Chain A
Amino acid sequence: MADPVATRDVRVSPHGTAVTPGARVVQVQKSLMTHNDGVAAANRAAFEGCLVLNIVSSPGSGKTALLERSVRELAGDLRVAVVVGDLETDNDAIRIHAAGAPSVQIVTGTVCHLEAEMVARAVDQLDLAGLDVLVIENVGNLVCPASWDLGEDLRVTLLSTTEGEDKPLKYPRIFKDADAVVINKVDIAEAVGFDRERALDAVAKVSPGTPVFELSARTGEGMDAWLAFVRERLAAKRG
């Protein structure tokens, strides 16, 4: 097992790579995310009045279906808008618009994730002052979106019963950084042989203490607890 003293040394003195003798050294100590994090901080300031969710998942796990149903059920008393990222097409924005929320499609082309700047440009087309909830549907990808802060309040990682129970173990970072995990398609869990206990155990191992919502965006089962969570977090943000 690792020696905690040794690992602490690594962190305090991280310059493990050799510097050529006699070379002139310039300290930088800056994150590669410096630019993105700056834009994300500006987004966060602009999002002061509304709750912002960043939804991440694999392609096909039901992000858009979850949003369509959430929009329909929240739209009675809350003003919701959606920013959708995809490599190509505006199909998802059209679906969400049909469900009753203003939506902006970001077509990323070949980029595998959303960055703070893309979101900043997209929300220019929305009336942020009039919003209660802004949902950012990230590009379907369990790897890359994990690294980019968009200025959201909550990162929600979605997993569906058709994907296999060990997804959290295979893609730990995106589950570790989640503020909530949604397990979608519980209506077909039995048919696809989904092992619920194993999935919950995997989430608890990678991301202990993170709330998990088991639901079906198609049938509506379990949606109440999820929507109550969103409302609760909105109320908490507004103090």
Chain B
Amino acid sequence: MHEFGLVISMIDLAEEAARKEGADVIEAIHVEIGALSGVVPEALEFAFGGARAGTMAATARLEVTYLPAIAYCATCQSEFELDNRFGIAMCPTCDTPSADLRQGREMHVSHLEVA
């Protein structure tokens, strides 16, 4: 449960970007969370509710996009989406486990809506 710390970082990044644009209010923060990031959606939303008070994002919405985990199979030379939430990357074509995770660890602020 480290979502509170993450939310503080998120608001810091958002405020910095909003200020740079001369905005006064952050109306929404759009984030991308990978399936294997370890971030729990409910905990993130709960933490955001507590952390946003007194910031430029005090009334902001939190919009979350969940990115599926994608691995690369060196044998088939193709990417595939993991068919489980458990981080097991078995190539659906040749059944070889892959260690090459191309997407799924993300915790990004992608964009903001500001006024």
With a CB–CB cut-off of 8 A, which chain A residues contact B99?
176, 207-210
**How does the 8 Å CB contact mask read for B1-25 relative to A, with 1 for contact and 0 for none?**
1100110011011100110010100
Give Cα distance in the complex from A215 to B27, angstroms: 54
Residue A28 lies at the interface, judged by CB distance under 8 Å to chain B = yes
B23 and A24 form a contact (CB under 8 A)? yes
Q: Provided the pairs A2-B83, A112-B1, A176-B87 are in contact, do residues A16 and B65 lie with their beta carbons within 8 angstroms? A: yes
Residue A29 lies at the interface, judged by CB distance under 8 Å to chain B = yes
A35 and B14 form a contact (CB under 8 A)? no
Main secondary structure of the interface of A (DSSP, over half): mixed
Closest chain A CB from B27 CB (angstroms): 6
A17 and B64 form a contact (CB under 8 A)? yes
Size category, A interface? 35 or more
With a CB–CB cut-off of 8 A, which chain A residues contact B27?
20, 23
Give Cα distance in the complex from A16 to B67, angstroms: 9
Closest chain A CB from B20 CB (angstroms): 8
Residue B41 lies at the interface, judged by CB distance under 8 Å to chain A = no
Residue B53 lies at the interface, judged by CB distance under 8 Å to chain A = no
**How does the 8 Å CB contact mask read for B41-75 relative to A, with 1 for contact and 0 for none?**
00000000000000000000001110110100000
With a CB–CB cut-off of 8 A, which chain A residues contact B97?
204-206, 208
With a CB–CB cut-off of 8 A, which chain A residues contact B106?
31
A15 and B88 form a contact (CB under 8 A)? no
With a CB–CB cut-off of 8 A, which chain A residues contact B63?
17-18
Q: Provided the pairs A23-B113, A28-B110 are in contact, do residues A206 and B65 lie with their beta carbons within 8 angstroms? A: no
With a CB–CB cut-off of 8 A, which chain A residues contact B86?
169-170, 172, 206
Interface hit among A65-73, A140-148, A186-194: A140-148
A17 and B30 form a contact (CB under 8 A)? yes
Residue A4 lies at the interface, judged by CB distance under 8 Å to chain B = yes
Give Cα distance in the complex from A15 to B31, angstroms: 9
A28 and B36 form a contact (CB under 8 A)? no
B113 and A29 form a contact (CB under 8 A)? no
Can you list 19 A-B contacts (CB < 8 A)? Answer: A4-B80, A7-B79, A7-B103, A8-B79, A17-B30, A19-B113, A26-B18, A26-B114, A28-B14, A28-B110, A29-B111, A30-B109, A31-B108, A33-B9, A35-B9, A147-B38, A172-B87, A205-B88, A208-B99
A23-B113, A30-B108 are known contacts; what are 11 more A-B pairs with Cβ within 8 Å?
A23-B27, A23-B115, A25-B111, A26-B18, A32-B10, A32-B109, A112-B1, A172-B87, A173-B36, A173-B38, A176-B101
B interface, CB within 8 angstroms of A: 1-2, 5-6, 9-10, 12-14, 17-18, 21, 23, 27-28, 30-32, 36-38, 63-65, 67-68, 70, 78-83, 86-88, 90, 92, 96-99, 101-103, 105-115
